[in-house]
A and B are shown apart, each in its own frame.
Chain A
Amino acid sequence: GEDVEQSLFLSVREGDSSVINCTYTDSSSTYLYWYKQEPGAGLQLLTYIFSNMDMKQDQRLTVLLNKKDKHLSLRIADTQTGDSAIYFCAEIPTQAAGNKLTFGGGTRVLVKP
């Protein structure tokens, strides 16, 4: 089946680094994505990585991709209280028409002062 899996919850202290992990299903997925959802809001695209890359850095965000293990991670450096949200990883499986995204269940990140 098409299951993208994430841990449910992560608690981190303000100023520390957060690492959110995800395993995806389709080793041929071209792009993999990280979305952020704040309470009462829609999903916001944080970053994405092309499948021929191992790493992508964007300010405080670092995405690591291990294609062999089908593992994707998002590292947030110097985590702030504003980073408290639900984070979703997503893939577009190669057989998916219309760029249909398959989402993980989301990881709720709580940043403690």
Chain B
Amino acid sequence: NAGVTQTPKFRVLKTGQSMTLLCAQDMNHEYMYWYRQDPGMGLRLIHYSVGEGTTAKGEVPDGYNVSRLKKQNFLLGLESAAPSQTSVYFCASSYVRTGEAFFGQGTRLTVV
């Protein structure tokens, strides 16, 4: 049972480049999330989804877009990467009733 899988694990981008981070979960969870983790800032929610075909903004959505075309997948896109987006990105999914969230292993992104 894989749980939550993120790809890629590491990436270096040049300023202005675009990329998509992929998250896949095999637990049939309705809710999915993208967080970023920065030193001294804790975890901050970027976007989330409460079901297939729906997305909503979190705390720090600017510069990111998301899509949830299939229930098991949640994609995070950076259209024009900036150095301020250098961070570790975590995807998570959760049970609706208890809110237990399960996290992927993270994607370490560096924008130069």
The residues of A with any CB-CB pair to B shorter than 8 Å are 30-31, 33, 35, 40-45, 48, 88, 92, 97-101, 103-106
Contacts and interface: CB of A to CB of B under 8 A. Distances in A.
A68 B33 CA distance: 31
A111 B98 CA distance: 31
B101 A101 contact: yes
Contacts, number: 58
Contacts of A106: 42
Q: Looking at chain B's contact residues, is the secondary structure mostly helix, strand, loop, or mixed?
A: strand
A97 B42 contact: no
Contacts of B98: 31, 48
A106 B43 CA distance: 9
B42 A105 contact: yes
B111 interface: no
B42 A45 contact: no
A99 B43 contact: no
Contact of A98 (B56, B100, B102, B104): B56
Bin chain B's interface residue count: 20 to 34
Contacts of B105: 41-42
B74 interface: no
Given A42-B104, A103-B43, A97 B90 contact: no
Instruction: Pick the 7 closest A-B CB pairs, nearest first.
Output: A42-B103, A99-B99, A43-B103, A105-B42, A98-B50, A103-B43, A42-B105
B77 interface: no
A82 B6 CA distance: 25
A45 to B, nearest CB: 6
Nearest to B41: A105
B42 A104 contact: yes
B55 to A, nearest CB: 10
